[in-house]
């Protein structure tokens, strides 16, 4: 029998990319998944293909939306804070509004959703918070300062919460992927092509050369790490930021 059968997981930004792969992987362990995001039609379509999955509208930047969504979700054993955005620009040309937009989703959104679940989680016999950070949370990167700062904040929050709740049965960890083949990366490729006039293959090579294995990472590889962090036998792993980067960090 699957040891996670009957557990309930919320995955923010669960309708696409890494979040959707996490939902599929956890569902394979018998976990009931709740996909949260802004586009309910897309979420419902995604949930329709997954056993015991449901969809709830949630904008992680909005207090009322988060409150209503987590009330509707009910008891939660696993929270995967996956919703995230990125933008690329030279530091001196990055408007303050871009900084605020990225912090609002990547950092404040994660705080809001985590605060919505930790109360009951600290009293539970099992609980997991898994934050999808990035290798941008472990090292710097040119032209992506707001994203890098936000993902460093995610890693800092992960370490702090793991200590704050160490006396409970909750673990808090981050996974830190390099470039993963998703919509975000497709946008990065389009951005490089537009700014530099490079072909798609050249733009893709710019990204894959950051991975010593010379390839894009697959969403299933990230989801596998998330599933392991959910397993009861990983209960003494907490406060970690696990790179999934082909050895880049």
Ligand X SMILES: NC(=O)c1ccc[n+]([C@@H]2O[C@H](COP(=O)([O-])OP(=O)(O)OC[C@H]3O[C@@H](n4cnc5c(N)ncnc54)[C@H](O)[C@@H]3O)[C@@H](O)[C@H]2O)c1
Indicate whether 246 belongs to the interface with ligand X (CB under 6 A): no
* Residue 193: half-sphere exposure toward Cβ, Cα within 13 Å: 13
For 20-56, what is the HEC assignment? Answer: HHHHHHHHHCCCEEEEEECCHHHHHHHHHCCCCEEEE
Strand partners, 161: none
Q: Show the site string, 169-208: x = touches ligand X by CB under 6 A, - = not.
A: --------x-xx-xxxx-----------------------
CB 86, min distance to ligand X, A? 6
158 binds ligand X (CB under 6 A): no
85 forms part of the interface with ligand X (CB under 6 A):
yes
CA distance 244 to 222: 7
Q: At its nearest, how many Å lie between ligand X and the CB of residue 170?
A: 21
Tokens of 86: 């990125």
Tokens representing 148 are: 């890098």
Active site residue 147: yes
Q: Using the minimum distance from each CB to ligand X, give the nearer residue, 17 or 146.
A: 17
Nearer to ligand X, 57 or 169 (CB): 57
Name which position in 22, 27, 50, 60 contacts ligand X (CB under 6 A): 60
Binding to ligand X in span 34-53, by CB under 6 A: 37-38
> Alpha carbon of 170 to those of 118, 218, 226, 232: distances in Å?
9, 28, 15, 10
**18 is an interface residue for ligand X by CB under 6 A:** yes
**CA–CA separation, 79 vs 93, rounded Å?**
35
Binding site for ligand X (CB under 6 A): 12-13, 15-19, 37-38, 58-61, 82-86, 105, 109, 132, 134, 177, 179-180, 182-185
């Amino acid at each position: 029998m699957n040891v996670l059968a009957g557990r309930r997981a919320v995955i923010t930004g669960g309708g696409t990319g890494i979040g959707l792969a996490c939902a599929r992987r956890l569902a394979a362990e018998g976990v009931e998944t709740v996909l949260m995001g802004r586009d309910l039609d897309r979420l419902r379509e995604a949930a329709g293909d997954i056993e015991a999955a449901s969809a709830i509208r949630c904008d992680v930047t909005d207090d009322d939306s988060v409150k209503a969504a987590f009330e509707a979700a009910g008891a939660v054993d696993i929270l995967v804070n996956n919703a995230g955005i990125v933008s690329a620009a030279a530091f001196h040309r990055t408007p303050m509004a871009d900084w605020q937009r990225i912090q609002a989703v990547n950092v404040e959104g994660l705080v809001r959703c985590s605060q919505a679940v930790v109360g009951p989680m600290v009293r539970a016999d099992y609980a997991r918070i898994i934050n999808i950070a990035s290798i941008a949370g472990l090292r710097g990167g040119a032209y992506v300062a707001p994203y890098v700062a936000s993902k460093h904040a995610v890693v800092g929050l992960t370490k702090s919460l793991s200590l704050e709740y160490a006396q409970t049965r909750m673990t808090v960890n981050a996974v830190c992927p390099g470039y993963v083949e998703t919509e975000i990366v497709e946008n990065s490729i389009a951005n490089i092509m537009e700014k530099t006039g490079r072909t798609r293959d050249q733009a893709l090579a710019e990204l894959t050369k950051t991975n010593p294995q010379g390839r894009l990472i697959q969403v299933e590889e990230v989801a596998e790490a998330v599933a392991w962090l959910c397993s009861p036998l990983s209960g003494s792993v907490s406060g970690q930021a696990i790179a999934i980067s082909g050895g880049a960090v």
